[in-house]
């Protein structure tokens, strides 16, 4: 029996997914969480086979929950359900260790298949998500940014100062300045303000 935990801040959506999965042979809903903190706590307690996770939740968002689940080395498949189809959100979720990514609009058609696929050790992506991943693979400028450079980009766009970024990432001020310079060179930017526009476009910051 595949045990799943559903984490979403919309009660009606959680109920709908629970009813959907209740009709699937070999799948049992172990519980449901209303926010990120509850999702993480219940994952650690219940140890489900699959965590069905919304990205936009109060408290800890789905990205942070995914990161912490992976940091704890929990043997749980993370299946993201999201309304966000921007390349930044998709890339970030997959980089953090999500095993699948489904658009919410496709959830009721694809969820059962997605659970089967990720439990088989493969990644599952909705068609729109797969198309976005393919576009990312063909964008050398975006792919040329390192993980640390993307972190710096998101913090710059969030309005953090160089000193604040250095403190948050645990690196030196000169290192932050070097990362910023590399980003601008790679993306062909002349002004720091262009970084914020790029970050919003790529979904690195709201």
CA separation for the pair 86, 73 (Å, rounded)? 28
Which residue bears the tokens 């070999």?
26
User: For the chain, how far is it from start to end, CA to CA, in angstroms?
Assistant: 39
- The enclosing H or E element of 147 equals helix 147-157
Q: Are 184 and 192 in contact (CB under 8 A)?
A: yes
Residue pLDDT, tens place only, 94-126: 888 999 999 998 888 999 999 999 999 999 998
Domains and CATH numbers, the chain: 2-137 (3.40.50.2300), 140-201 (1.10.10.10)
Q: Give this prediction's pTM.
A: 0.67
pLDDT over 60 at 167, yes or no: yes
- The enclosing H or E element of 131 equals helix 127-137
- The enclosing H or E element of 20 equals helix 11-22
């Amino acid at each position: 029996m595949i045990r799943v935990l559903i984490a979403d801040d919309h009660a009606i959506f959680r109920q709908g997914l629970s009813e959907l999965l209740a009709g699937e042979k070999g799948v049992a809903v172990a519980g449901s969480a209303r926010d990120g903190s509850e999702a993480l706590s219940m994952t650690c307690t219940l140890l489900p086979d699959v965590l069905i996770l919304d990205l936009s939740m109060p408290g800890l968002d789905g990205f942070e929950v995914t990161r912490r689940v992976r940091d704890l080395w929990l043997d749980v498949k993370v299946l993201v359900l999201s309304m966000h189809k921007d390349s930044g959100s998709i890339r970030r979720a997959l980089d953090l260790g999500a095993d699948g990514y489904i658009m919410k609009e496709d959830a009721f058609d694809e969820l059962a298949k997605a659970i089967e696929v990720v439990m088989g050790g493969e990644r599952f992506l909705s068609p729109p998500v797969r198309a976005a991943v393919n576009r990312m693979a063909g964008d050398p400028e975006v792919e040329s940014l390192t993980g640390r450079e993307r972190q710096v980009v998101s913090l710059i766009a969030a309005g953090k100062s160089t000193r604040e970024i250095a403190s948050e990432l645990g690196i030196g001020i000169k290192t932050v300045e070097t990362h910023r310079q590399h980003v601008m060179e790679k993306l062909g930017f002349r002004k720091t303000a262009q970084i914020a526009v790029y970050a919003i476009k790529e979904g690195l910051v709201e």
